[in-house]
Amino acid sequence: MARNTLARIDVDAVAHNLARVRQLAPNSRVMAVVKADAYGHRLDLCLPALAAADMLAVATLEEARAIRRLGSNLPVLLLEGLIHDGDLSVAADLGLELTIHHPAQVRALEQFGTAPTPRLWLKLDTGMHRLGMDAASARQAHRQLLALPGVHQVNLVTHFASADAEEPTATREQMHRFREATSGLTGELCMANSAAILGHPDSHADWVRAGILLYGVSPHPDRTGESLGLKPVMTLTTELIAINEVSRGERIGYGGRFTAPADMRIGVAGIGYGDGYPRSLADGTPVRVGDYRCPLVGRVSMDMITLDVSAAPGVKIGDRVVLWGPGLPVEHIARYADTIAYELVCRITRRVRYRAF
Ligand SMILES: Cc1ncc(COP(=O)(O)O)c(C=O)c1O
């Protein structure tokens, strides 16, 4: 029988979360961000539930190609735009909308003689200093792009560096710079990621770009998706493959990180960093075995973890083990690994089987 390490994907939850985004940003159109295989939730499973989105956004040409292969004709935005020679003809074949964030990309379009679609998205850097043009370059690019044959609309985009921060000043400053830099330019405006959808309604504008919210996860490490009216999409599960007695003073796992403070029952579950369950997780990370919360004890191995099941009478080999999902928020688990929930869901490896329900 196949190993029972599963990512269960609640497809209805994806549709619910999209509807929740619409509730949060009722006057904006919604771009559903499905890069990185739908944030590790698998594009093929999630895409049907996103049919009601106004458009999709991905990072790479390969991700866009996967959308077309799956039969979706929704508009698709390439968030990083063109990278290599030859990307333009592929983008044209697939009918992709481009982010234009650099003058070199404007020149490439001018040489090509047109754009893959009549609508383009011009990206401005308003303070994150990752991708985007300054205000003056953007104004010039806007003119050049609208002069291209077949281009009818150039929308204006920026990205926030700190929309998830409690302190709103940096985001407000970026919004202010964006409004100033785009004043008088034609085109629709698009700024908000998930954190801004939640915390900065004045950034919603014509379009919002929703990523992590669609998967039922909060962009804020100290809030859960469930507390925001979302439904977690992924439940990561495995099963107990052994239960052993360990005497007081014995050390458990690689490096003997955990020393048993008393005689203990240790459950061994079939998941590890080879599946994407982070090695950096600390002792005490909550794991659910049946109805019990059983803390992780000892270092996460490639294929296994060790759990304190001493206070969980009746648990037995074969019992289901939940690593995260409804009631055991991935946002909390991420804190025990000193990372963010985005990373945990994105790093599930190919060894894990996915099941939609
Ligand atoms: C340019 C851009 N827009 C939107 C998003 C979506 O962000 P979130 O998942 O926080 O909604 C991302 C994700 O990293 C992004 O890079």
Give the span between the Cα atoms of 209 and 194, in whole angstroms: 7
Give the residue numbers marked as catalytic. 35, 254
- Residue 241 clears pLDDT 90, i.e. is over it: yes
Residues 240 and 195 in one domain: no
Report the nearest atom of ligand 1 relative to the CA of 163.
10
Atom 10 (ligand 1): residue with closest C-alpha? Answer: 194
CA of 33 to the centre of ligand 1 (A): 7
Residues 190 and 43 in one domain: yes
Q: For the segment 180-228, what is each residue's pLDDT rounded down to a tens digit?
A: 999 999 999 999 999 999 999 999 999 999 999 999 999 999 999 999 9
CA of 301 to the centre of ligand 1 (A): 31
In this structure, are residues 212 and 341 in contact, taking their beta carbons and an 8 Å threshold?
yes
Closest by CA position to 240, among listed 173, 181, 176, 290: 290
Residues 96 and 152 in one domain: yes
- Residue 86 clears pLDDT 80, i.e. is over it: yes
Atom 8 (ligand 1): residue with closest C-alpha? Answer: 211
Report the nearest atom of ligand 1 relative to the CA of 193.
11
Average pLDDT, the chain: 97
Q: For the segment 267-301, what is each residue's pLDDT rounded down to a tens digit?
A: 999 999 999 999 999 999 999 999 999 999 999 99
CA of 193 to the centre of ligand 1 (A): 5
Helix (H, G, I), strand (E, B) or coil at 30: strand
Pocket of ligand 1 (CB under 6 A): 33, 79, 159, 193-195, 209-212, 219
Q: For the segment 65-83, what is each residue's pLDDT rounded down to a tens digit?
A: 999 999 999 999 999 998 9
Q: What pLDDT shows up at residue 1? A: 76
* pLDDT classification of 85: cutoffs 50, 70, 90: confident
Residues 351 and 239 in one domain: yes
Q: Which domain covers residue 16, as residue numbers? A: 11-217
Average pLDDT, stretch 12-23? Answer: 98
Q: How many domains does the chain have?
A: 2
Which tokens is 147 given? Answer: 């002069």
Q: What pLDDT shows up at residue 58? A: 98
Report the nearest atom of ligand 1 relative to the CA of 194.
11
Q: For the segment 300-337, what is each residue's pLDDT rounded down to a tens digit?
A: 999 999 999 999 999 999 999 999 999 999 999 999 99
The answer to whether residue 341 sits within a structural domain is yes
Residues 65 and 204 in one domain: yes
CA of 141 to the centre of ligand 1 (A): 23
> How far, in Å, are 15, 18, 33, 61, 157 from residue 26 at the CA level?
16, 12, 18, 30, 19
Q: For the segment 107-140, what is each residue's pLDDT rounded down to a tens digit?
A: 999 999 999 999 999 999 999 999 999 999 999 9
Residues 26 and 75 in one domain: yes
Closest by CA position to 158, among listed 106, 207, 119: 207
